[in-house]
Amino acid sequence: MKKRFLLGGCLLGLLSIPAVPLLMMVLVIVLCIGIVSPGIALSFGPGTHQTTNPRPTQEFTGKTNAAVVDAARTLVQTLYPCGNSGLDTCYTANFPRNVLQYLDDACGDPQCPYAQSGNFQCVFFVLAVYYMAGQTLPAGPNAVQFWATYQNAPGWLEIPANGAPEPGDIAVFSGPPSGPFANPFGHVAIIIDVAVPGKDGTGGSIQLAEANSLKAVDNLPLVKTNPGQDHSLWQVTAWIGYTLLGYIRNAANG
Count of beta carbons in the 10 Å neighbourhood of residue 17: 18
- Residue 228 domain flag: yes
Of 184-188, 230-234, 248-252, the one with minimum mean pLDDT is 230-234
- Residue 235 domain flag: yes
- Residue 196 domain flag: yes
Long-range contacts of the stretch 81-85 (C-beta < 8 A, 24+) = 81/48, 81/49, 82/117, 82/118, 83/118, 85/26, 85/27, 85/28
Among residues of the chain, what percentage have pLDDT more than 70?
74
- Residue 210 domain flag: yes
Centroid of chain to Cα 185: 13
Per the structure, how many domains does the chain have? 1
- Residue 121 domain flag: yes
Is it the case that residue 10 has pLDDT exceeding 70? no
- Residue 202 domain flag: yes
Higher pLDDT, 45 or 129: 129
SS3 74: helix
Identify the pLDDT of residue 61: 60
- Residue 98 domain flag: yes
Identify the pLDDT of residue 87: 65
Domain, as residue range, for 76: 12-253
- pTM > 0.85: no
pLDDT digit string (tens) for 166-218? 999 999 999 988 888 788 889 999 999 998 887 776 789 999 999 988 789 99
**Average pLDDT of the segment spanning 137-146:** 94
